[in-house]
């Protein structure tokens, strides 16, 4: 097996992009992040990103991407998960021994974390069980009062505060200082959507377009406006709009929140595969 360390996102995508797109929904996170970084190497933070490709007989077996300060994104494409995992661990530790955790398909992320702990002594601080959903047709939910609109720069402070609260709830950590700039860029790109009922009451963000699909993230409703159907209405309206341009939409959910998972199923999302996000505590030896 050969370990390649491409110097840039484009150098990563040239050999590995087509292999990731062969299962576009499963690997939409890795591919979408790489495409974004190919346009702006520091889109997610001031430190340089890094990339890994594991190849065997000309085939991409596994990949890893990190855009510091965020967790590496792992992807398994072919071959044995165990052997690929061991090679990923050795290679990542050589480059970046103090990673804050990993995210990836559940089996790979689980194995990686167990082996990383056994080899280097890092402790698991938190884990989020996730599910990847796909959507190809929007069902007709009961819409809440109000309407969807794109956010403008006049909404920037609200969007930033909601995005920060979303990431606190989702990750348990304070968001990176880069989030302020990132969400302002997303507003300017026309990718932030608000459901408004007199005032903005819910938010969703489109992100990471791939060849045939696009993802939705940062679905957030402040506590005082929850349980009114605003998030359902915002997401359903947004997906209906996006499916005019893309063949499918992708969504990551937190399995510890059964309410949101049931909402997405009512909109028309179908389960695709499971993912996991681990946070590590402490430096390795």
> The dihedral of CA 110, 112, 116, 118: what is its sign?
positive
In this prediction, residue 261 carries a pLDDT of 87
pLDDT at 88: 97
Please report the pLDDT score of residue 238 as a whole number. Answer: 94
- Same-domain pairing of 46 and 83: yes
pLDDT tens per residue across span 32-61: 999 999 999 998 889 999 999 999 988 999
Residues 89 and 154 both lie in one domain: no
pLDDT at 142: 84
CATH code, domain with 72? 3.40.630
* Res 282: pLDDT: 63
Q: Are residues 153 and 228 in the same domain?
A: yes
Give pTM, 2 decimals: 0.91
Sites in the chain below the pLDDT cut of 70: 172-173, 282-285
Q: Are residues 150 and 125 in the same domain?
A: no
Q: Residue 132's pLDDT is what?
A: 96
pLDDT score of 284 = 52
- 248 plus 186 within the same structural domain: yes
Do 7 and 45 fall within a single domain?
Answer: yes
Same domain, 154 and 109: no
Q: Supply the CATH number for residue 205's domain.
A: 3.40.630.30
98 and 192: one domain? no
Q: Is there a single domain that holds both residue 6 and residue 124?
A: yes
Q: What is the pLDDT of residues 98-128, one digit of tens each?
A: 999 999 999 999 999 999 999 998 889 889 9
Co-location of 174 and 116 in the same domain: no
Expressed as residue numbers, the domain containing 71 is 2-130+276-281
Q: What DSSP letter does each residue of the chain carry, written as one string?
A: -EEE--SSHHHHHHHHHHHHHTTTTTTHHHHHHHHHHHH-TTSS-SSPPEEEEEEETTEEEEEEEE-TTSPPEEEE-SS-HHHHHHHHHHHHHHH-TT--EEEEEHHHHHHHHHHHHHHH-PEEEEEEEEEEEEESS---PPPPSSEEEE--GGGHHHHHHHHHHHHHHHHSSPPPTHHHHHHHHHHHTT-EEEEEESEEEEEEEEE---SSEEEEEEEE--GGGTTSSHHHHHHHHHHHHHTTT-SEEEEEEETT-HHHHHHHHHHT-EEEEEEEEEEEES---
Res 262: pLDDT: 85
Per the structure, the count of domains in the chain is 2
- Residue 142 and residue 263 in one domain: yes
Q: For position 7, what pLDDT does the model report?
A: 97
* Same domain as 91, residue 145: no
């Amino acid at each position: 097996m050969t370990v390649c360390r491409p110097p840039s996102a484009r150098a990563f995508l040239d050999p590995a992009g087509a292999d990731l797109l062969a299962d576009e929904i499963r690997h939409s996170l890795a591919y979408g992040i790489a495409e974004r970084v190919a346009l702006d190497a520091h889109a997610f933070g001031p430190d340089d990103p890094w990339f890994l490709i594991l190849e065997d007989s000309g085939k991409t077996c596994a990949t890893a991407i990190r855009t510091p300060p965020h967790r590496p994104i792992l992807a398994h494409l072919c071959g044995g998960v165990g052997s690929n995992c061991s090679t990923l661990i050795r290679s990542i530790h050589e480059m970046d021994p103090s990673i804050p955790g990993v995210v990836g398909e559940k089996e790979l992320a689980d194995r990686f974390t167990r082996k990383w702990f056994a080899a280097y002594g890092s402790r698991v601080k938190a884990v989020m069980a996730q599910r990847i959903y796909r959507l190809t047709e929007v069902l007709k939910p009961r819409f809440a009062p109000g309407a969807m609109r794109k956010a403008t720069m006049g909404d920037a402070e609200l969007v930033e505060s909601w995005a920060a609260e979303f990431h606190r709830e989702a990750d348990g950590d304070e968001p990176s200082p880069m989030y302020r700039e990132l969400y302002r860029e997303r507003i300017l790109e026309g990718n932030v959507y608000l459901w408004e009922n007199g005032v903005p009451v819910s938010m969703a963000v489109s992100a990471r377009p791939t060849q045939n699909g696009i993802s939705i993230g940062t679905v957030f409703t402040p506590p005082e406006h929850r349980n009114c159907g605003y998030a359902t209405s915002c997401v359903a309206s947004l997906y209906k709009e996006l499916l005019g341009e893309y063949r499918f939409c992708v969504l990551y959910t937190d399995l510890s929140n059964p309410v949101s998972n049931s909402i997405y199923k009512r909109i028309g999302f179908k389960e695709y595969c499971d993912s996991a996000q681990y946070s590590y505590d402490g430096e390795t030896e």
